Amino acid sequence: MQFGIERFLNDPALRAPLAGRRVAVLAHPASVTRDLTHSLDALATLPDVKLSAAFGPQHGLRGDKQDNMVESPDYTDPRLGIPVFSLYGEVRRPTDAMMDSFDVLLVDLQDLGCRIYTFITTLRYVLEAAARLGKAVWVLDRPNPAGRPVEGTTLREGWESFVGAGPMPMRHGLTMGELGQWFIATLGLSLEYRVITMAGWRPDEAPGFGWPIGERSWVNPSPNAPNLSMARAYAGTVMLEGTTLSEGRGTTRPLELFGAPDIDTARLLADMRRIAPQWLRGCMLRECWFEPTFHKHVGQLCAGVQIHVEDPAHYGHADFQPWRLQALAFRAIRVQRPDYPLWRDFPYEYERDRLAIELINGGPLLREWVDDVNAPPEALDGAARADEAAWTEARRPYLLY
């Protein structure tokens, strides 16, 4: 198969509309070609593309920041001598001066298929700025490694944030190019927008179900996104960032496992299987122990659970529900210890007035369900199913594959 960047590099006809126009690139460390050349460097070899600037999202253009909420500065690219503007530094939205540096912005970002992943919010922000200032945006499309499944409740009105780009469920099932079309339609934007589509992407085919296993190297789109297993689990495990439980940062398997020094994982798994066994399909759960070298519970031995979704004998792509699975783990902890200090109260993505777990979920519904131990699984499941069905229908006009 070919990603959008490769079709763009290989076909001069796709580049012809850029003649005489200044071109900027929005990219990150996973913005690479099949031979692992960074997209910015590959584009710089084209004599018919006039590069004038580059932009980096959270964690940087070429990769320099490990943790969340660590800002990157603007700088000059040492190889190409063009300005590199940070969209996760002094600003989150591009300034007019930044936008004045180009005529067409090429967006080449590897997404993980989850609403909270900030690259899709950055896409929204550059689309809004481009519409206001008469600039063009082209997306060089890449796979959604989590594939087409949809899961979670829709972000509620008033809960928009840098980790909540719009009213979609946690797992949206779209590519970046498709998301751009949806943003433009739902926000009522008017601008020149093009998607350089992929060739041969088959999101419903095993074993990759979205990611071309055996055809492509995995490059971390952010420092704690080290593999396909993480991408599959992320729509659930990202919620751990709003809790006191470790999400495995400081280990070699971040966002595939969770735990803490003071929980009983054997009972936890037993309670999960008792409360809602139907939410555990499509994966294997394994008790484990780990000691984070940084972040939460650093240097402490944590009792934990790892979510395994790599073995085809155990992974069921259509059955796996990471958002429900993680919600169920929270409920099992609440049942085990009603007074457990589960919800982490701290400024999350610079939001100080809203609880992190609610900001992550785009509303209070999940937290309220977890804390009300008498609320049946059907209460959360019913709300999610309605939202999932509505989104599946709403996204249909924007599907390109």
Last residue of a domain, one of 165, 195, 221: 221
> Is residue 176 domain-shared with residue 239, that is, in the same domain?
no
How many domains does the chain contain in total? 2
Query: 107 and 58 in one domain?
Result: yes
**The pLDDT of residue 71:** 66
pLDDT for 239 beyond 60: yes
The Cα–Cα gap between 133 and 374 comes to: 52
pLDDT at 357 over 60: yes
Give the mean pLDDT of 353-363: 95
**How far, in Å, CA of 80 to CA of 52, rounded?**
10
Domain boundary among 221, 255, 276: 221
Read off the pLDDT band of 352 (50, 70, 90). Answer: confident
What's the average model confidence in pLDDT over 338-349? 92
- Which strand ranges, in their side-by-side order, compose the sheet holding 136-140? 75-76, 83-86, 50-56, 22-27, 104-108, 136-140, 193-196
Statement to judge: residues 296 and 179 lie in one domain: no
Q: Do both 189 and 278 map to the same domain?
A: no
Are 184 and 236 part of one and the same domain? no
Spatial CA neighbour of 136 closest among 189, 93, 187: 189
Under 8 Å between Cβ of 244 and 260? yes
pLDDT of amino acid 68: 52
Of 184, 53, 194, nearest to 124 (Cα)? 184
String of DSSP letters for 187-227: HT--S-EEEE--BS--TTSTTTTTS-TTTS----SSTT--S
Number of Cβ atoms within 10 Å of the Cβ of 349: 19
74-119: pLDDT as tens digits: 999 998 999 999 999 899 999 999 999 999 999 999 999 999 999 9
For residues 107 and 250, state if they share a domain. Answer: no
Nearest to 101 by CA among 124, 130, 131: 130
Q: Are residues 255 and 209 in the same domain?
A: no
- The candidate with the shortest Cα–Cα distance to 355, out of 222, 244, 235, 237, is 244
Co-location of 337 and 290 in the same domain: yes
The per-residue pLDDT for range 33-71, each reduced to its tens digit, is 999 999 999 999 999 999 999 999 999 998 765 555 556
What residue numbers bound the domain in which 291 lies? 228-391
Name the nearest CA neighbour of 149 among 383, 336, 316, 359. 316
Is residue 189 predicted with pLDDT exceeding 70? yes
Indicate whether 217 and 270 sit together in one domain: no
Same domain membership, residue 247 and residue 162: no
Q: How confident is the model at residue 353 (pLDDT cuts 50, 70, 90)?
A: confident
Is 164 domain-assigned? yes
Residue 398: inside a domain: no
Based on the domain organization, do 270 and 291 belong to the same domain? yes
**Burial class of residue 186 (count of CB atoms within 10 Å of its CB; 0-12, 13-18, 19+):** middle
Q: How far apart are CA 185 and CA 180, in angstroms?
A: 9
Q: Can you give the pLDDT at residue 64? A: 63
Q: Residue 203 has what pLDDT?
A: 96
Residue 105: strand pairing partners: 24, 137
pLDDT at residue 347 is higher than 90: no
Phi/psi class of residue 364: alpha, beta or left (left: φ > 0; alpha: ψ in -120 to 50)? Answer: alpha
* pLDDT above 90: residue 346: no
Provide the pLDDT for residue 172: 98
Nearest to 332 by CA among 370, 364, 382: 370
- What's the pLDDT band for 326 if we cut at 50, 70, 90? very high
pLDDT in tens, 125-155: 999 999 999 999 999 999 999 999 999 999 9
Convert the pLDDT of each residue in 280-314 to its tens digit.
999 999 999 999 999 999 999 999 999 999 999 99
What is the CA 110 to chain-centroid distance, rounded?
9
pLDDT at site 351 = 80
Q: How many helices (H) and strands (E) would you count in the chain?
A: 12, 10
If asked whether residues 42 and 145 sit together in one domain, one would say yes
In a domain, 173, yes or no: yes
CA distances from 106 to 32, 81, 140, 246, 275 (A): 14, 18, 7, 36, 47
Chain CA centroid to CA 277, Å: 27
Sequence-ordered alpha helix ranges (H) in 337-376:
356-361, 365-371
Q: What is the pTM of this model?
A: 0.96
Percent with pLDDT over 90 in the chain: 94
Domain endpoint, select from 178, 196, 221: 221
Average pLDDT value for the chain: 96
CATH of the domain at 26: 3.40.50.12170
